[in-house]
């Protein structure tokens, strides 16, 4: 194994205290017991990006890893439960579908459930309904119901999967509390310079505006879009994916809660991008992610305000970004986690997951006895691949549209695709085959929900779908649908569940 550096790592410095910084600090605080000091530098004056409120189910694993009591976490962050994302107006104006968490139906003798459903639909014998009718998370979401999954694999309730909507500032504060209790030292200050070893080029210390210097052996760049360490100091280039994902700005504004608490995020396609709606216990988060090449800022701001369901709580705030990522996320003794490493728009709520993924992989490859080029390369390989896989899934939503009512949608519908996505679509278009690559975040169930939801019908289905005789397939589907229907009907409403278990004070 070749070594890019040597010596034990005893001092870790995290620059930035947004969601990325405090998630990293809370996870790494476990190292403190092993004699590693963890210092986090953040600047209140600079502040955080302040958005990032919708998550995906993997966050449950992160919270579990930290030993977090879920009800306490939901209360502390004014969170709600999320069973999926509703996409409105993406295929055509007036259309809607849900990308639910959880699985569709049940596979039969190794044959994927969606193949049975496609075969039944193609037979023309009766109406098998939509694929979403066979997913408990989708059915419960539509009815505004929620319950935690059952641990019993025989129960339909075991097929449910969920995530959270939470207040990002409250989550960072919650994690800060955990991290500080475990010995992480927080330093308030603005980083104005980065010292590097003149020979190795690795980072040795960060200098603060008040003259203090914080030295370390491993630096985690959580400085947000500024990318102070990986981008500015180490000059790792940024690759833009704007030709596939042209949205480069967002307006965000909270609004007063109105109506029932939907247990799902809503993403509504608009003239030059899309608007999000994220219900929290105490307010609703809203935003319009748009392409500045296709709409001007004022028009986008007006569209966001016009689409609000409740009164705006304050003035909209603008954010600017470019889709893409740094060419390496681990360089020398620095790892970028969060926005400092890359950005993918929040259409599938994946940024916090990518933070978590970076942290988990850092923990499994932690360079306790020094840096190894092999380990660094492995980290970069898997993280960069994950960014690309998520990118492809997001591009799918834009490309798989029939809309031509604005230059933006015309562009999305007709743009050339990354080869990796193109081949996935070709595989689907024949016999509806979907495979999950090793380490890929989105499961076939997710791809199936979005492909069918956006009207990308395959030409045929897998011949193995004939595993059951036609009449039996119809009975099997009706049984699954009925079980899901009854299970959803017996669940408490989302509000009831929260009031009973975890209402914010
Ligand atoms: P930031 O929050 O920007 O934190 C950077 C930190 O670095 C701050 O503490 C800052 O003070 C510090 N800092 C910067 N410069 C200095 C300096 N010189 N000295 C000292 N400290 C410094 N993700 C999701 O998963 N779900 C979503 O729904 C979602 N929605 C989003 C919507 C929009 C419009 C955008 C732009 C992003 C969204 N994200 C979402 C992404 C999510 O917000 C981020 O991934 C998450 O907040 C992490 O940000 P961060 O900690 O990397 O950066």
My answer on whether 145 and 269 are in the same domain is no
Is there a domain that residue 66 lies in? no
Residues 145, 203, single domain; the answer is no
What is the number of the ligand 1 atom nearest to the C-alpha of 56?
25
> 142 and 48 share a domain?
no
- Give the containing element (helix H, strand E) for 422: helix 419-431
| 464 alpha carbon – ligand 1 mean position (Å) | 47
The reply to whether 410 falls in a domain is no
| 85 plus 160 within the same structural domain | yes
* Domain that includes residue 264, residue range: 249-320
User: What one-character DSSP code corresponds to residue 263?
Assistant: S
Specify the pTM. 0.96
pLDDT by 10s per residue, the chain, length 505:
334 445 789 999 999 999 999 999 999 998 877 889 999 999 999 999 988 799 999 999 999 999 999 999 999 999 999 999 999 999 999 999 999 999 999 999 999 999 999 999 999 888 999 999 999 999 999 999 999 999 999 999 999 999 999 999 999 999 999 999 999 999 999 999 999 999 999 999 999 999 999 999 999 999 999 999 999 999 999 999 999 999 999 999 999 998 899 999 999 999 999 999 999 999 999 999 999 999 999 999 999 999 999 999 999 999 999 999 999 999 999 999 999 999 999 999 999 999 999 999 999 999 999 999 999 999 999 999 999 999 999 999 999 999 999 999 999 999 999 999 999 999 999 999 999 988 899 999 999 999 999 999 999 999 999 888 888 999 999 999 999 999 999 999 999 999 999 999 9
How far apart CA 203 and CA 229 sit, in angstroms, is 8
Please determine, for the modelled complex, whether the ipTM score is greater than 0.95: yes
Token representation of residue 354: 């990518």
The answer, yes or no, to whether any atom of ligand 1 lies below 6 A from the CB of 53, is yes
| Residue 330 phi, psi (nearest 5) | -120, 120
Say yes or no: 87 and 127 in one domain. yes
Q: Decide which of 368, 389, 410 is a domain's last residue.
A: 389
Residues 25 and 171 occupy one common structural domain:
yes
Same domain, 339 and 454: no
In terms of domains, do 233 and 253 share one? no
What's the structural domain count of the chain? 3
Question: Is residue 36 in a domain?
Answer: yes
**Is 430 annotated as ligand-binding?**
no
How far is Cα 376 from Cα 440, in angstroms, rounded to an integer? 20
Active site residue 332: no
Asked whether residue 309 is assigned to any structural domain, the reply reads: yes
For residue 295, tell me if it sits in a domain.
yes
> Do 445 and 377 fall within a single domain?
no
Q: Is the CB of 63 under 6 A from ligand 1?
A: no
For 351-396, give the DSSP string.
HHHHHHHHHHHHHHT--TT--BHHHHHHHHHHHHHHHHHHHHHHHH
**17 carries a ligand binding annotation:** yes
Ligand 1, atom nearest to 48 Cα: 2
Q: At what angle do helices 470-489 and 113-123 cross, to 10 degrees?
A: 120
The catalytic residue among 11, 82, 196, 424 is 82
In the chain, count of helices (H) and strands (E)? Answer: 14, 21
Distance 125 CA to ligand 1 centre (A): 52
250 touches ligand 1 (CB under 6 Å): yes
Angle at Cα 400 formed by Cα 399 and Cα 401, nearest 5°? 95
- 161 and 171 in one domain? no
Q: Is the CB of 169 under 6 A from ligand 1?
A: no
Pairing of the two strands 37-42 and 185-188:
parallel
CATH number at residue 347: 3.50.50.60
- Do 302 and 426 share a domain, yes or no? no
- Tell me how crowded residue 53 is: count the other CB atoms within 10 A of its CB: 32
> Who's near 254: CB < 8 A, 6+ residues apart?
283, 284, 285, 286, 312, 313, 314
Q: Do both 233 and 273 map to the same domain?
A: no
């Amino acid at each position: 194994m070749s070594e890019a550096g040597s010596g034990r790592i005893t001092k870790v410095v995290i620059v930035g205290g947004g969601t990325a910084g405090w998630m990293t600090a809370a996870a790494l605080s476990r190292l403190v017991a092993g004699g590693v000091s963890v210092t986090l530098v953040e600047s209140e004056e600079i502040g955080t990006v302040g958005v990032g409120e919708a998550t995906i189910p993997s966050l449950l694993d992160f919270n579990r890893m930290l030993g977090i009591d879920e009800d306490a976490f939901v209360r502390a962050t004014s969170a709600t439960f999320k069973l999926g994302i509703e996409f409105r107006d993406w295929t055509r104006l007036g259309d809607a579908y849900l990308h639910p968490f959880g699985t569709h139906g049940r596979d039969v003798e190794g044959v994927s459930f969606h193949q049975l459903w496609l075969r039944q639909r193609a037979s023309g014998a009766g109406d098998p309904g939509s694929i979403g009718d066979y997913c408990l998370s989708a059915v419960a979401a539509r009815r505004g119901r929620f319950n935690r999954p059952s641990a019993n694999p025989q129960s339909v309730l075991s097929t449910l999967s969920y995530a959270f909507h939470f207040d990002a500032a409250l989550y960072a504060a919650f994690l800060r509390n955990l991290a500080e209790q475990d010995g992480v030292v927080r330093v308030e200050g603005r980083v104005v310079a980065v010292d590097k070893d003149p020979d190795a080029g690795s980072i040795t210390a960060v200098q603060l505006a008040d003259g203090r210097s914080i030295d370390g052996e491993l630096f985690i760049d959580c400085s947000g879009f500024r990318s102070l360490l990986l981008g500015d100091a180490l000059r790792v280039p940024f690759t833009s994916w704007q030709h596939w994902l042209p949205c480069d700005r967002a307006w965000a504004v909270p609004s007063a809660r109105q109506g029932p608490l939907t247990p799902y995020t809503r993403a509504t396609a608009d003239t030059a991008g899309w608007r999000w709606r994220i219900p929290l216990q105490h307010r609703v988060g809203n935003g319009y992610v748009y392409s500045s090449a296709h709409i001007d800022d004022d028009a986008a701001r007006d569209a966001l305000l016009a689409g609000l369901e409740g009164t705006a709580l304050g003035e909209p705030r603008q954010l600017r970004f470019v889709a893409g990522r740094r060419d390496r996320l681990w360089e020398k003794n620095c790892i970028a986690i969060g926005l400092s490493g890359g950005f993918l728009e929040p259409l599938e709520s994946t940024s916090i997951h990518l933070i978590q993924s970076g942290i988990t992989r850092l923990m499994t490859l932690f360079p306790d006895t020094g840096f190894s080029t092999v380990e660094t390369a492995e980290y970069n390989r898997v993280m960069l691949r994950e960014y690309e896989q998520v990118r492809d899934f997001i591009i799918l939503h834009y490309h798989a549209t029939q809309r031509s009512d604005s230059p933006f949608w015309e562009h999305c519908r007709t743009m050339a695709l990354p080869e990796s996505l193109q081949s996935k679509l070709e595989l689907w278009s024949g016999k509806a085959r979907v495979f999950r690559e090793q380490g890929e975040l989105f499961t076939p169930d997710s791809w199936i929900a979005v492909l069918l939801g956006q009207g990308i019908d395959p030409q045929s289905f897998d011949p193995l779908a004939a595993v059951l005789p036609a009449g039996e397939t119809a009975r099997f589907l009706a049984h699954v649908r009925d079980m899901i229907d009854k299970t959803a009907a017996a669940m408490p409403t989302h509000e009831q569940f929260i009031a009973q278990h975890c209402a914010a004070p």
